[in-house]
Structure 1
Amino acid sequence: MSINKAQGQSVKFVGLDLRIPVFTHGQLYVALSRATSPDNIHILLPANTLDYTTRNVVYPEVLLD
């Protein structure tokens, strides 16, 4: 299910693949907040990393007139 389709819905399990930063502003929050329990959230991170962060992808050219 896409993040936009998940808005307003609850799901039992949420799995996120964060090996490549793909989230735009707010999408990570929406993805994580859809799970009915924090125990049901599973996140796939890049191999051999201790950095538990992901980029907030912003396209400034879209915001400019």
Structure 2
Amino acid sequence: MYPTAAVCVCLLMLNAPTMAINDRPIIGILSQETYIVRYLFPGRQYDSFISASYVKFLESAGARVVPI
């Protein structure tokens, strides 16, 4: 291998993006079934509800929240 090519490869490897590690836990919140939301938002397929305070509380601790 040519010395210039080896230097170029080394420089490219130094600038390569690294994958970020995400150590935040994923927490599932049990959603509540509701039919009132369908009337509030017609045309959308909403049929469950999670209070925002539960989500914000867990996100403030560093968790990722998913509905169950």
Instruction: Please give the range of the TM-score, normalised by the shorter of the 2 chains.
Output: under 0.3
Which one has the bigger helix percentage? Answer: 2
Which one has the bigger strand percentage? Answer: 2
Bigger RCO (CA 8 Å, 6+ sep): 1
Which TM-score applies when normalising by structure 2?
0.25
